[in-house]
Chains A and B, each alone.
Chain A
Amino acid sequence: MSKILIVDDSATMRKILMRVIRQAGVETEGFLEAGNGQEGLERLAADGTIDLILSDVNMPVMNGVDFVKSVRALASKPGIPIVMVTTEGGEAMVKTAMEAGASGYVTKPFTPESLKSALVGLGK
């Protein structure tokens, strides 16, 4: 088993995501949290067992799109799934995130079913 990294500047949203993922029965050894993309990169560098990332888009310091681009540029994490979980539901932002390398996209507010569906689609 491995870990899930949740990148969101809201501690509330990080807690909600952890709760929903547990309730969905996704197998994980645990969670790591980061408050922005830069912290996310640091967590990723420090823990080699992360095999799934959920990331917000609008964050201070480093936003979610730049974070995805940075992760995709890492040789150490080829193909790691990154699901964007964000209030930004417009087509343009979805396209931007997917072109940057996101693997999936969930718009807030979400139901537990919609999040679970996105994770199941990634084989989780």
Chain B
Amino acid sequence: MSADNRPSVLQRELLMKTLQTCVDEVFAMMVCSFKEAAMKSVEVVAPRDEKKIRFRESEATEAVDVAKQVSIDFSGDASGRVVLRCSVDSADSIARGLLMMDESEVLELAAVTDALGECANMLAGSLKTKALDPVGSFQLGLPDFSDPAPNGAMEGALVYKVAQGVMSVEVWLD
């Protein structure tokens, strides 16, 4: 975390609360198959594991392998990225939800990747509109699937059980 890099009004608590609103809106409006019961916020377990999403549920700490990661950079008065990490099952569920495909339909890997990119794009765009634009000037980048370890320091993370899988939505600052 870089205190010098962060606009003074870009406070962590507000940023993460806004991110939660963004996740709720994107999934409620666009990921059509998700009912409230199918998506549940769970407690993040620190420290972050590059290869796994660690969380706590019902007193038990669990860890699920990361299958897909996509990040959207933002730059301007502060720079960083929004990172979406998914287990195999959550990646599949999110893609099927966005594309309104049921379990019987064949879903290509490329379609899953593209769907997660669009999901991350909407999350980053919403966060920019609600939390970044009001305090400064920012630009968004395109989805990046290549970097296994985001640059910078993690500002915060939200973890959700999604259908049979798990996803993590994170904000990093350079």
Please give the residue numbers on chain A whose beta carbons come within 8 Å of chain B beta carbons, in ascending order: 9-13, 15-16, 19, 58-60, 86-92, 107-111
Q: Are A108 and B142 in contact (CB under 8 A)?
A: no
Complex Cα distance, B94 from A16, in Å, reads 13
What's the A-B contact tally at a CB cutoff of 8 Å?
67
* Secondary structure class of chain B's binding surface, majority of residues: helix
Q: Please count how many residues in chain B sit with their CB below 8 Å of the partner chain's CB atoms.
A: 26
User: Given A16-B30, A109-B25: A10 and B114 within 8 A (CB)?
Assistant: yes
B57 within 8 A of A: no
- When distances are taken between beta carbons in the complex, the residues of chain A under 8 Å from B117 are 10, 12
**A to B CB contacts below 8 Å, 30 in the list:** A10-B114, A12-B99, A12-B111, A12-B114, A12-B118, A16-B99, A58-B121, A58-B140, A58-B141, A58-B142, A59-B142, A60-B142, A87-B121, A87-B122, A87-B125, A87-B128, A88-B129, A88-B140, A89-B128, A89-B133, A90-B129, A90-B133, A92-B133, A107-B125, A107-B129, A108-B121, A108-B122, A109-B28, A109-B29, A109-B126
B169 within 8 A of A: no
Q: Give, as a whole number of angstroms, the nearest-CB distance from B37 to chain A.
A: 20
